[in-house]
A = this chain, B = another copy of it.
C-alpha cells in the first residue's frame, strides 16, 4: 500500500468518523438545532476540521443520505442479478431488501426528504448534486426493473414499471415517515415494522393480476 493510498484511506476513515457523529447529532436534535460545534464535539474534533472534509453543513447532511442510497442500490442490484428468482419471488426479494434498508438505518430515511428540499439543495456542490441525482435514478430504476419482469410475465398489472416503482417507494417512505411521526405517542419499532409488512402485503396483492397468484 503506497503512502498516497494510506492517506486516502485515513481520510476516508475521518470522513466516516464525522458522518457517524453527525448522524447521532442530527438524529437527536434535528437539522436546524444541530450545530456544527455539536457535531465537532461528538466527533472529538474541532469545528474547523469538519470543513476540511465537508464544504458546509448541508453537504455534511447530504452525505448521510448518500450512504443509505449506496446501500440501497447494492441491495437492489443483488435482487435483480439473482437469475434464479422468478418474477414473483423477485417482488418478495424486493420487499426483503427494503426491510434490510430500513434496518440498516431506520432514521436516516427521514432525512432523504429534508435532503430534497430546495432550501438544502441550493447549498450543495455540483458534484454532490450530481451524485444524489445519479443514485436516486439508479435505485428507482432498479426497483422498476423488478416490476418490469413481473409485467412481462403478466403476473403484475400492466402499468409503467417506473410508475409502480414510484408508488412502491412512496408507500415505503410514507409508512416510515408516518409511523415515525407518531413516535412521540408510540416509539415501538416493531409496530412500525408490522405496518410496513402489512403495507407491502397490500401493495403486493394490489399489483398482482387477478387470479394469477396467491
- Chain A residues close to B by CB (< 8 Å): 29-30, 32-33, 113, 116-119, 121, 133, 157, 159, 163-164, 166-167, 169-175, 177-179, 181-182, 184-185, 194-195, 198-199, 201-207, 210, 214
One of B113, B171, B178, B203 near A181 (C-beta < 8 A): B113
Tell me the complex Cα distance, A175–B201, Å: 17
A207 touches B202 (CB 8 A): yes
What is the total number of copies of this protein in its complex?
Answer: 4
Determine the main DSSP class of A at the interface with B.
Answer: helix
Residues of B within 8 A of A119 (CB): 29-30, 32-33
Residues of B within 8 A of A117 (CB): 30, 181
Which residue of chain B is the closest to A181 with respect to CB atoms? B116
Residues of B within 8 A of A182 (CB): 116
| Cβ distance A119 to chain B, nearest Cβ, rounded Å | 4
Tell me the complex Cα distance, A206–B208, Å: 9
Give 8 closest A-B pairs by Cβ, nearest first.
A174-B174, A206-B206, A202-B206, A116-B181, A170-B178, A170-B174, A30-B119, A205-B206
A118 touches B204 (CB 8 A): no
Besides the known contacts A167-B171, A169-B178, 15 further A-B residue pairs in the complex with CB atoms under 8 A apart: A30-B119, A118-B184, A170-B174, A170-B175, A170-B195, A170-B199, A171-B171, A171-B175, A172-B174, A173-B174, A174-B178, A201-B206, A202-B206, A205-B205, A205-B207
